[in-house]
Chains A and B, each alone.
Chain A
Amino acid sequence: MKLLLIFLSSLFLEANTCYTEGNFTEAAKKYEQSIAEQPSAEVYYNLGNTYFKLYEQDSLRGNLAQSILAYERALRIQPANEDTQYNLEYAKSKIQGKIKDAESFFLSDWLKSIRDALLQQTWTWMSISLFIFMLVGIFLFAYSKTLWLRKTAFYGSIVALLISILACLNAASLHKRDSQRVEAIVVKGEVVVKSSPAESGTDLFPLYEGVKVIIDNDEIVDDWCCVRVGNNKGWMRLEDLERI
């Protein structure tokens, strides 16, 4: 196990050297190897940077999408990394043909950003510990003889229960996202979304490389899947997507 760790870090350092020298193709290869052995947020982040540099060099189709994909995966492991968030936003700004954002309620945006700020595990543990805290609070409320302690325990347990439920909901939502892998990135340069799962379907709207879509796992017909972008819904080929 120890030997493996040393090997990994040397591969990571080699890749970093390649990146600094500007040999991005080689760096990407090394980071990919490193990920194959042991995925980590930092390697994904560096890989994202490498693909982005490759995209800047010759804007070869696919590199931008790979870059965005790597950043998204890095955020899955380490959601609060500021550098990753910044670079992801920057890479997203290079996406062609701005798609109209879903007209979502500001509250749901806000809740979503809170959800994504922590890992699923963190939410789970938070929920459980707050639940226990609430139980203790109820106990204290019931059997304490001191008035202020009873009051504190009463309100404390109500707040703890509410936060616990929210944390649990967040964990559930993240669990759904991560286990079913519903979020995906468009990897093909330009894809036209159809109204039905066939080439003959009506063209609905175009999607460009790097756009994040949500796959409806219940609606997959052969190699076609139903995707949602903002308020729009349509069918596209699974091969044009890569799940995060």
Chain B
Amino acid sequence: MKRILSILFVCGFSLLALGADDVEFKASAPAQVVVGRPFQLTYSINKSAKDLRAPEFVDFDYLAGPYTSQSSSTTYVNGKRTSSFTLTYTYMLEAKKEGTYTIEPATIKVDGTQYTSNGVRVKVLPPDQEPASATSTSNPEPQSEVFLRTILSKTNVHEQEAILLTYKIYYTGLEVGQLTNNFTLPEFKGFIKQELEQNQVQAEMEHYKGKNYLTAEIYRILLFPQNSGDVTIDPARFEAVVYVQNRSRIRSIFDDFYATTTQLRQLEAPGVDVHVDPLPANKPASYSGGVGEFSITSNISNTELQVNEALTLTLTIKGSGNLKYVKTPEIEWPKGFEVYDPKVTNDFQNTTRGISGTKTIEYLAIPRSGGNYTLPAIEFSYFDTKQDKYNTLHTPEYSLTISGTATTEHSNKHTRVVPEEQEQVLGEDIRHIYTGKERTPSIPALMEFGSLKFWMCYLIPLCLTIILFIIFRKKIKENADINLVRYKKANKVAQRRLKTAKRLLRENNKELFYEEIERASWTYLSDRLSIPTAELNKENISQVLSDKGVSEKTIQDVNNVLSTAEFARYAPTTDYEMQKMYELTTQIINELEGQKL
């Protein structure tokens, strides 16, 4: 602030010719100045030039100038030389009264060609109002001050309408270095937040409450109120590094460099109230949820097409407001169109007016049958914040001509965009009532579960079975007893008969001998096999014996004995044969006795 002039020294002068760069002739001055305070107006050009004609400074007092300064530099990078050259003219001016003024362009000549600079707009702020008391004490010490302001773009808004909230730092009499990471933002309850890209902090001068401050925006955020009513945004807290000039003035040449101290300052941005109005009740049916200013355009890929050829309808919603939260409009496609989910492409910028940009929605449909169709206009409604009412926009209607007829899936497979065809469900309903004549009445159960009757159904068969078991068992036991006795006694009986047979053999009583042998054999077999003698005969005996696992030879012997005994009784035989017969019978009985039958 105290710097009045900073002079750029000529560092060197290059004799080298300047390249064939374009001539750039620029005027620059601070955007804001204060009445009665001198400021610099500079013209700079990158070529050697002469004959600068500055405009007439009507609204400003001309103090001094033009001071000329030159600077040039040459750099070598990888053997390549680049050089730059700047010629600067500086004027010292002072504003006379507040207002916004334009300094007209100046002209300059380079190699005989005239160039014109840009004009500069300068805002002149009123001078600081000195407090009445301050005038009496001629204390020139500057008052240092630093504070934050919370600035809302609007305080009376509708639901969903974008508000820009800005925290701005104001300072005078000191330098603000930077903000630390130690800060707390309010919760922004009842709002949807959308952070904005933070601008490069650039200090500007602003006249606020009778004083001129340097200001800088430190934080910006977009807010979309969600509920109507009065909403309070809580204060925010920041921490800043400030450089304060020492009060004890040390008069030395290093004054400016060392006479400052660094401090950490806690700053609070005050809380603010927002009044949120609800959206009017008469919402159109096609209301999209959009609040702001929007426009809509539609574009169709083709209006004359073949069956199974894809059709794209592109809808573009453009504007600013809560564009991000706008619903995709529904399209009523004619029947016979296979419709796919729309593809939505967003191109948004977060601006101070809200989210602006475009939302592009691509609807894809494939006609499956030929004919002429009308694609109805799409309605898009939103709440216009400028006009304070609902606006409904329409897209044009499209007439579609589909040629060809519906073809089978098979023949068209290669042209299909999407291979899978879903079974179309047009609607859902309950099934129709029963109209037949047969009825299923509710029949009372024949017996109740758990009743006596029920248990009887189990008990009676069980008892019957048990009784049957007992009867069977008894009978079997009886049979088993008889058979066992006979089985066990079989050998004894047979031996007794054989003994008799032996006696008869000795007596040479042929007839009785063979009778005894035959009876001995039959009784023995009957007892051993537990088969009554009456059921046994020569025909079945072999079968029965082979079933019991008796060897083939023994069976043959048995048959031999039985048949010989039967015939030999009445036929002439020798003693030797009878002796042999006796031995064979004994042998068979012994053999069978050794087997388990």
Residues 416-452 of B at the A interface (beta carbon under 8 Å): 428-443, 445-450
Q: In this assembly, does A139 line the interface, its C-beta being within 8 Å of a C-beta of chain B?
A: yes
Q: In this assembly, does B457 line the interface, its C-beta being within 8 Å of a C-beta of chain A?
A: yes
Q: Is the CB of A91 within 8 A of B430?
A: yes
With both beta carbons as reference points, the residue of chain B lying nearest to A91 in the complex is identified as B430
* Separation of A163 and B249 alpha carbons in the complex (Å): 108
Which residues of chain B have C-beta atoms less than 8 A from A139's C-beta? Answer: 465, 468-469
Annotate B454-467 by CB proximity to A: 1 below 8 A, 0 otherwise: 10011001101100
* Separation of A90 and B429 alpha carbons in the complex (Å): 8
Q: Is the CB of B440 within 8 A of A40?
A: yes
* Separation of A77 and B440 alpha carbons in the complex (Å): 7
Q: In this assembly, does A62 line the interface, its C-beta being within 8 Å of a C-beta of chain B?
A: no
Which one, B429, B431, B440, contacts A78 given CB within 8 A?
B440
A-B contacts counted at CB < 8 A amount to: 84
Which one, A49, A124, A131, contacts B461 given CB within 8 A?
A131
**Known contacts A131-B461, A139-B469; A77 and B442 CB within 8 A of each other:** yes
B410 smallest CB distance to A (angstroms) = 33
Which residues of chain B have C-beta atoms less than 8 A from A143's C-beta? Answer: 472
* Separation of A78 and B440 alpha carbons in the complex (Å): 7
Residues 136-163 of A at the B interface (beta carbon under 8 Å): 138-139, 142-143
Q: Is the CB of A83 within 8 A of B457?
A: no
Q: Is the CB of A175 within 8 A of B465?
A: no
Which 6 pairs, one residue from A and one from B, show the smallest C-beta to C-beta distance? A175-B449, A46-B433, A41-B440, A135-B465, A87-B430, A42-B434
Which residues of chain B have C-beta atoms less than 8 A from A25's C-beta? Answer: none
* Separation of A42 and B433 alpha carbons in the complex (Å): 8
Q: Is the CB of A16 within 8 A of B435?
A: yes
Q: Is the CB of A135 within 8 A of B462?
A: yes
Q: Is the CB of A135 within 8 A of B461?
A: yes
Q: In this assembly, does A19 line the interface, its C-beta being within 8 Å of a C-beta of chain B?
A: yes
Residues 462-503 of B at the A interface (beta carbon under 8 Å): 462, 464-465, 468-469, 472
* Separation of A49 and B430 alpha carbons in the complex (Å): 7
With both beta carbons as reference points, the residue of chain B lying nearest to A52 in the complex is identified as B430
Residues 39-53 of A at the B interface (beta carbon under 8 Å): 39-43, 45-46, 49-50, 52-53
A77 smallest CB distance to B (angstroms) = 4
Looking at A83, A91, A135, the one whose CB has the most chain B CB atoms below 10 A away is: A135
Q: Is the CB of B436 within 8 A of A42?
A: yes
Q: Is the CB of A120 within 8 A of B445?
A: yes
Show 9 A/B contacts (Cβ-Cβ < 8 Å), sorted by A. A16-B433, A40-B439, A49-B433, A77-B440, A90-B430, A124-B454, A128-B457, A132-B461, A142-B472
With both beta carbons as reference points, the residue of chain A lying nearest to B461 in the complex is identified as A132
Which residues of chain A have C-beta atoms less than 8 A from B469's C-beta? Answer: 139, 142
Q: Is the CB of A40 within 8 A of B430?
A: no
Looking at B435, B437, B442, B461, the one whose CB has the most chain A CB atoms below 10 A away is: B442
* Separation of A39 and B440 alpha carbons in the complex (Å): 9
Residues 52-87 of A at the B interface (beta carbon under 8 Å): 52-53, 76-78, 83, 86-87
**Known contacts A124-B454, A139-B468; A45 and B433 CB within 8 A of each other:** yes
A117 smallest CB distance to B (angstroms) = 15
With both beta carbons as reference points, the residue of chain B lying nearest to A38 in the complex is identified as B441
With both beta carbons as reference points, the residue of chain B lying nearest to A136 in the complex is identified as B465
* Separation of A100 and B31 alpha carbons in the complex (Å): 66
Q: Is the interface of A mostly helix, strand, loop or mixed?
A: helix
With both beta carbons as reference points, the residue of chain A lying nearest to B462 in the complex is identified as A135
Which residues of chain A have C-beta atoms less than 8 A from B464's C-beta? Answer: 135
Which residues of chain B have C-beta atoms less than 8 A from A83's C-beta? Answer: 431, 434
B458 smallest CB distance to A (angstroms) = 6
B514 smallest CB distance to A (angstroms) = 37
Looking at B433, B445, B457, the one whose CB has the most chain A CB atoms below 10 A away is: B433
Q: Is the CB of A42 within 8 A of B439?
A: yes
With both beta carbons as reference points, the residue of chain B lying nearest to A76 in the complex is identified as B442
* Separation of A46 and B430 alpha carbons in the complex (Å): 11
Which residues of chain A have C-beta atoms less than 8 A from B458's C-beta? Answer: 128, 131
* Separation of A18 and B216 alpha carbons in the complex (Å): 79
Q: In this assembly, does A111 line the interface, its C-beta being within 8 Å of a C-beta of chain B?
A: no
- Given contact pairs A45-B433, A131-B461, A172-B450, enumerate 6 new A-B contacts (beta carbons under 8 Å): A19-B433, A42-B436, A77-B442, A121-B446, A128-B458, A139-B465
Q: Is the CB of A138 within 8 A of B465?
A: yes
* Separation of A227 and B437 alpha carbons in the complex (Å): 39
Q: In this assembly, does A96 line the interface, its C-beta being within 8 Å of a C-beta of chain B?
A: no
Q: In this assembly, does A9 line the interface, its C-beta being within 8 Å of a C-beta of chain B?
A: yes
B360 smallest CB distance to A (angstroms) = 36
With both beta carbons as reference points, the residue of chain B lying nearest to A78 in the complex is identified as B440
With both beta carbons as reference points, the residue of chain B lying nearest to A164 in the complex is identified as B458
Which residues of chain A have C-beta atoms less than 8 A from B436's C-beta? Answer: 42
Q: Is the CB of A39 within 8 A of B442?
A: yes
B580 smallest CB distance to A (angstroms) = 39
Which residues of chain B have C-beta atoms less than 8 A from A16's C-beta? Answer: 433, 435
* Separation of A86 and B432 alpha carbons in the complex (Å): 11
With both beta carbons as reference points, the residue of chain A lying nearest to B447 in the complex is identified as A124
* Separation of A120 and B468 alpha carbons in the complex (Å): 31
* Separation of A20 and B433 alpha carbons in the complex (Å): 9
Q: In this assembly, does A186 line the interface, its C-beta being within 8 Å of a C-beta of chain B?
A: no
* Separation of A9 and B439 alpha carbons in the complex (Å): 9
* Separation of A133 and B442 alpha carbons in the complex (Å): 29
Looking at A40, A53, A171, the one whose CB has the most chain B CB atoms below 10 A away is: A40
With both beta carbons as reference points, the residue of chain B lying nearest to A138 in the complex is identified as B465
B473 smallest CB distance to A (angstroms) = 9
Which residues of chain B have C-beta atoms less than 8 A from A121's C-beta? Answer: 443, 445-446
**Known contacts A138-B465, A142-B469, A172-B450; A87 and B431 CB within 8 A of each other:** yes
**Known contacts A90-B428, A90-B430; A40 and B449 CB within 8 A of each other:** no
With both beta carbons as reference points, the residue of chain A lying nearest to B438 in the complex is identified as A42
* Separation of A50 and B443 alpha carbons in the complex (Å): 24
With both beta carbons as reference points, the residue of chain A lying nearest to B465 in the complex is identified as A135
Which residues of chain B have C-beta atoms less than 8 A from A40's C-beta? Answer: 439-442
* Separation of A179 and B449 alpha carbons in the complex (Å): 10
A13 smallest CB distance to B (angstroms) = 8
**Known contacts A131-B458, A138-B465, A139-B469; A120 and B449 CB within 8 A of each other:** yes
A214 smallest CB distance to B (angstroms) = 19
With both beta carbons as reference points, the residue of chain A lying nearest to B446 in the complex is identified as A121
* Separation of A39 and B439 alpha carbons in the complex (Å): 10
Looking at B434, B462, B472, the one whose CB has the most chain A CB atoms below 10 A away is: B434
Which residues of chain A have C-beta atoms less than 8 A from B446's C-beta? Answer: 121
B22 smallest CB distance to A (angstroms) = 72
Looking at B430, B431, B435, B469, the one whose CB has the most chain A CB atoms below 10 A away is: B430
Which one, B431, B437, B447, B468, contacts A86 given CB within 8 A?
B431
Which residues of chain B have C-beta atoms less than 8 A from A86's C-beta? Answer: 430-431
Which residues of chain B have C-beta atoms less than 8 A from A38's C-beta? Answer: 441
A22 smallest CB distance to B (angstroms) = 12
B437 smallest CB distance to A (angstroms) = 7
B431 smallest CB distance to A (angstroms) = 5
* Separation of A77 and B429 alpha carbons in the complex (Å): 24
* Separation of A9 and B437 alpha carbons in the complex (Å): 8
With both beta carbons as reference points, the residue of chain A lying nearest to B473 in the complex is identified as A142
